[in-house]
């Protein structure tokens, strides 16, 4: 089975081709809804390739530097 390589139209392009929504059929609304949803899909964050690309690990706060250790009774 061959995968289609044709790019999907943007919602604006779809509206320009299909005209006024007043005359759309149910299938037109279904297609348009999917185009709008796909436009706002958030892509996953890329994985770091090297150890230097990673963020340093979080460190727990030092309890000795808290407000209790600053001479407060």
pLDDT tens digits in sequence order for the chain, 73 residues long: 565 667 788 899 999 999 999 999 999 999 999 998 888 776 676 666 655 666 667 776 776 665 555 555 5
**If DSSP codes are grouped into helix, strand and coil, which group holds residue 29?**
helix
CA angle 11, 14, 18 (to 5 degrees): 140
pLDDT of residue 25: 94
pLDDT of residue 8: 82
pLDDT of residue 70: 53
Look at residues 43, 44, 38, 47 and name the one whose alpha carbon lies nearest to residue 11. 38
pLDDT of residue 42: 67
Angstrom distance (rounded) from CA 68 to CA 41:
47
């Amino acid at each position: 089975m061959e995968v289609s390589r044709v790019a999907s139209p943007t919602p604006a392009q779809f509206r320009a081709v299909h005209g006024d929504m007043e005359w759309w059929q149910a299938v037109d609304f279904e297609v348009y809804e999917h185009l709008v949803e796909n436009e706002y899909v958030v892509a996953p964050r890329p994985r770091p390739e090297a150890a230097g690309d990673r963020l340093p690990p979080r460190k727990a706060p030092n309890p000795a530097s808290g407000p209790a250790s600053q001479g407060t009774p």
